Structures are given as C-alpha cells and as structure tokens.
C-alpha cells in the first residue's frame, strides 16, 4: 500500500479529558461525512459523550443524535475551545 492509499482511509481519534468526558472523532478526505464501520464499533465500545466526523466540506450539521459533521478547522476549534 502506498502513502497515497493511506490518505484516503479515515482516521479515528479518541479524546479523553480529566473530567472523564470522551469524544470520538473520525477524519476523512471525502466530501461525504459518512462514518466507517470502525467508528460505529468504537462508539459501541467507548460510548463517547460527543461524536464528530470531520470531512472536506464547509458546512457544520448534525448527522444523528450525537454525531456532528464538521470540517477540520471546526473540529480543531471544538477540541481546543468546545470542551
């Protein structure tokens, strides 16, 4: 697998804060903010308080009850300021 192939795969991040809150993030290069089956499995295991899928679009919107689609800049701001 080349480095270029790796760029198309989603990346999962688990954020754990001192107060015990857990956020799960998936970052994609796609314009489609759909999460992977690995993301769903991780959510079942971890049960994060909030879930984000960062995608290549510009809009921020809810995908489901706890899952929000954001761009990378919005995700960064959420990590730094939103907690």
CA proximity to 12, closest of 48, 57, 42, 33? 42
Domain ranges of the chain: 3-82
Neighbours of 43 (CB within 10 A): 16
Average pLDDT over the chain, rounded to an integer: 84
Q: What is the pLDDT of residue 5?
A: 46
Tens of pLDDT, residues 37-55: 999 999 999 889 889 999 9
CA distance 21 to 3: 33
- pTM given for the model: 0.79
- Strand order in 22-27's β-sheet? 11-16, 22-27, 50-54, 67-70, 61-62
């Amino acid at each position: 697998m080349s480095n270029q192939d790796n760029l198309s795969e989603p990346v999962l991040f688990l954020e754990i804060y001192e107060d015990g809150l857990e956020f799960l993030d998936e970052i994609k290069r796609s314009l489609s903010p759909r999460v992977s089956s690995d993301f769903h499995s991780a959510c079942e295991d971890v049960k994060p308080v909030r879930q984000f899928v960062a995608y290549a679009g510009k809009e921020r919107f809810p995908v489901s009850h706890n899952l929000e689609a954001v761009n990378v800049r919005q995700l960064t701001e959420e990590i730094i300021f939103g907690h």
